[in-house]
A and B are shown apart, each in its own frame.
Chain A
Amino acid sequence: MPRHRLVVPDTVEYLSILDHQGNLDQELEPHLGDEQLIELYRAMLLGRRFDERMLDLQRQGRIGTFPPIKGQEAAQMGAIINLRPSDWFVPSFREVAAELWRGRSPESVLLYYNGFNEGTLLPAGQRDLPMAVPVGSQILHAVGLGRAAGYRGTDEVVLCFFGDGATSEGDFHEGLNFAAVYRTPVIFVCQNNQWAISTPLKKQTATANLALKALAYGMPGIQVDGNDVLAVYSATREAVERARNGGGPTLIECITYRIMMHTTADDPKRYRTEEEVAVWQERDPLTRFAAYLQRRGTLDADRRDQLEAEVLAQIQAAVERAEQQMAELGEPLALFEHLYADLPPNLRAQREELRTTLAAADKEVRHG
């Protein structure tokens, strides 16, 4: 009598639609039109090429440290395209592709990583939060936004991103628990890229996978091939619909890989092998998606080249605009802006102090 097995009815699904070579599981193919698919491909390509350009700029000292996204384009884009403009987007710090999709300009990203806080400016009226550097801290804000949406009686949803490392923070546990208790319309997208700086997943958690953590909080959890944009899209779409219809939160674990260094200040050779990286390079989300589009007849070589050229031109124009803006912005007095709604007298005085210092520095340059 006293000891028996409890029946836990929940399970965790695994979803993959395109295999590593881009072969399609026809039964699972989502209903996306040619134009939508091209748009999606273009966004992933833009994310990829912009990331590569940022790395060049960083190596030349033209921007500061940043976290590359290469390899994670499908996990970001497959999820974000499900959002309406009136929905909320809550990123961590590695979601540049998704941010661009939501309308952030590439030049603002460059400005930001060059140290200009003017670059944090989001498109007006946009329901996006700025990136959050403290790992996992944004998860609770997503839950709050979801709670507010429920309170206001809207059908808006919240899409929240974080990494595998974030699932160890208290904020993750508190956030998922609250989300489930209040049945908030939040979709938690974990980009499990296998590493939190040098810490591999198996040292991060003792659970068999991350999706199953959802069950402990009382929400559905699903694991998807995060390098398969169709799988990420389908799983997120389902979760978004459920949330919109009052079905509460979902945890989606996207199995993906960080191809590059953690940030440009990191040296991954210290903790992982080149063979491991090579395996994941084979599973590249862009090549895989392109193969599918080609087979489907949606993307031929010409169109592909054309998209490539378009994207590169867009990035080049953005770099030029960013450099011009940085030259124009010049003075760092903006440090004092937006700390408070109104600049308090002590800060006004400190701003004057800095202004004097700058003027003296100018004079020295002129006379020196």
Chain B
Amino acid sequence: MAKMTMVQALNLALKQEMAADDRVVLLGEDVGPDGGVFRVTDGLIDAFGSERVMDTPLAESAIVGMSIGMAIYGLRPVCEIQFSGFSYQAFHQLENHAARMRWRTQGRLSVPLVMRAPYGGGVRALEHHSESREAYWAHTPGLKVVIPSGPRNARALLVSAIRDPDPVIFYEAKALYRAFREEVPEAEETMPLGRPQLVREGRDLTMIAYGALVRTALEAAEQLKGLDGIETEVIDLLTLAPLDQELLAASLRKTGRAVVVHEAPRSFGPGAEIVCRLLEEAFYYLEAPPVRVAGFDVHPPYFSRERWYMPDVRRIVEAARRTCSG
């Protein structure tokens, strides 16, 4: 097994899926010779040619709209939006068509496309390059929203997303792209969409996170153990929509306390939905009100101020200690 960054692992997933299935095609801005601005598609144009790796003109609505047409006609388009902040230009295609085609045609037509986009902070970039607005998509019936948290699950989830018969929004945390390496098996690996994972066991507190913040949550859990002996259970959501609350509720029944962590703005963010499900499923087990640690309800600042926006270990630990002291 090779140790890979998330960029390399995503590249491997694309390469193997393309080799295995000639219906899989890639398209997007700068995905060809440049290999994408984060190099996820590096070398793929050399391996598969420009018929299958299409550098497109600069137009997100066209990229997604054309992917819809190709998907309807039996291809498996994987389109890249350079930064999630520019997926809004494609919003109407996703909302008006990708998300509805199966329903609208009573199952006759479907749109098995994947829209990949880097999201979130961590690279101290310009405006519109650091947002975490996955709630837009998770709020849209008919779309699936997948957000991996490391190289290995990114690879496995991307393969599953490509094979999924429905449109999948695949958000990749830029903060994770080169943050660390992980063993990724060369042999095919898939993971079911819509199933969260328990990544740390504990009896005192349930912490729920996804994407880049899973690692931050794990760090916070480690500190909590050291500081107060609090044993934190950490759950990695992996898929935001459809959201499966079984594991979350089971964990809460055990611990009685919950902290939800995300980068997206707090108001109307994924945390609101998660907490509500917990209340619906396990209200009588609660020892304290569930808490959200999230981005502020402001636009992410750039460069030197970015760090003040992102939920960090300190903010998570503080919230967790408050929850546990009650």
Contacts and interface: CB of A to CB of B under 8 A. Distances in A.
Interface of A: 63-66, 93, 112-117, 133-136, 165-166, 168-171, 196-199, 203-205, 263, 265-266, 270-271, 326, 332, 335-336, 339, 346-347, 350, 353-354, 357-358, 360-361
A169 B301 contact: no
Contact of A347 (B37, B55, B61, B297): B297
B58 A199 contact: yes
Given A168-B58, A203-B55, A198 B302 contact: no
A112 B303 CA distance: 9
Interface string B14-55: 000000000000000110111101000000000000000001
Given A165-B58, A197-B34, A199-B30, A65 B298 contact: no
Contact of A350 (B85, B296, B314): B296
Contacts of A169: 58-59, 89
B161 to A, nearest CB: 25
- Size class of the contact patch on chain B: 35 or more
The DSSP consensus for interface residues of chain B is: loop
B305 interface: yes
Contacts of A65: 124-126, 303
B57 interface: yes
A117 B61 contact: no
A157 to B, nearest CB: 27
Given A64-B303, A350-B266, 17 more contacts: A65-B124, A115-B302, A133-B126, A135-B86, A165-B58, A170-B62, A197-B29, A199-B58, A204-B58, A263-B126, A265-B125, A339-B299, A346-B297, A347-B297, A354-B308, A357-B314, A358-B308
Contacts of B299: 339
Interface string B171-206: 000000000000000000000000000000000000
B128 interface: yes
Nearest to A64: B303
Nearest to A268: B34
A165 B57 CA distance: 7
A64 B314 contact: no
B309 interface: yes
> In this complex, which of A63, A93, A170, A198 has the most chain B Cβ atoms within 10 angstroms of its Cβ?
A198
18 contacts: A65-B124, A65-B125, A65-B303, A66-B126, A113-B302, A117-B305, A134-B89, A135-B58, A135-B86, A168-B57, A196-B29, A198-B30, A199-B57, A270-B35, A336-B296, A347-B298, A350-B298, A361-B314
B127 interface: yes
Contact of B34 (A113, A165, A270): A270
B307 to A, nearest CB: 9
